[in-house]
Amino acid sequence: MRNSITRDTIDIDSLRKRASHPQAGAMLLFCGDIRNHSEGKLVQALEYEAHEQMALKQIDDIVAEASQRWELHFIEVIHRLGRMEVEECSVAIAVATAHRREAYLASRYLIDTIKHTVPIWKKEHFQDGSSEWSKGCEACSVHELSFPAEDHHHH
């Protein structure tokens, strides 16, 4: 069970196969798909960027935290970076548990915490041809990290 960051299409089928477990009565697969609208504007594509090692370490920490809170037979997070078209999956989370309640709680905890704490920046490409980076990433306090940054003095 290794979490990953990729620039390729997320292989949902193989994730689903890895997640099956004989003791699991619930296998929950969450996909964060690209939608075609944002704050009233039509979206054509999205781009995600991150400091990959830092983002992956934080995802690993969140997964470890979830594993301590709930009894999980399987847990894996795949986050995609780069440009994605509408309906493509940008983040996939699979959890398998004995009972469904834990699967929903753990999955919900994972996506909410990843979105709010992992520094991943989003650029929206709109159908009118314009594009913009979202105001810092949701997870970053503005003075700590701004993107795109030329100087990387906080490694």
**pLDDT tens digit sequence for 110-132:** 999 999 999 999 999 999 999 99
pLDDT value at position 86? 95
Parent domain of 52: 4-133
C-beta of residue 145 within 8 angstroms of C-beta of residue 134: no
23 within domain boundaries: yes
148 within domain boundaries: no
pLDDT of 10 over the 50 cut: yes
In total, the chain counts a number of residues equal to 155
145 within domain boundaries: no
Q: What percent of the chain has pLDDT over 90?
A: 81
105 within domain boundaries: yes
* Cis peptide upstream of residue 22 (ω within 30 degrees of 0): no
Q: Where are the alpha helices (DSSP H) in the chain?
A: 12-19, 52-69, 100-117
- Give 139's pLDDT tier (boundaries 50, 70, 90): low
Task: State the Cα–Cα distance between residues 25 and 55, nearest whole angstrom.
Answer: 31
- Give 136's pLDDT tier (boundaries 50, 70, 90): low
Q: Residue 65: left (phi > 0), alpha (psi -120 to 50), or beta?
A: alpha
152 within domain boundaries: no
pLDDT of 154 over the 50 cut: no
The CATH number covering residue 104 comes to 3.90.1170.40
How many structural domains does the chain have? 1
80 within domain boundaries: yes
21 within domain boundaries: yes
pLDDT value at position 144? 47
**pLDDT tens digit sequence for 70-90:** 999 999 999 999 999 999 999
pLDDT of 151 over the 70 cut: no
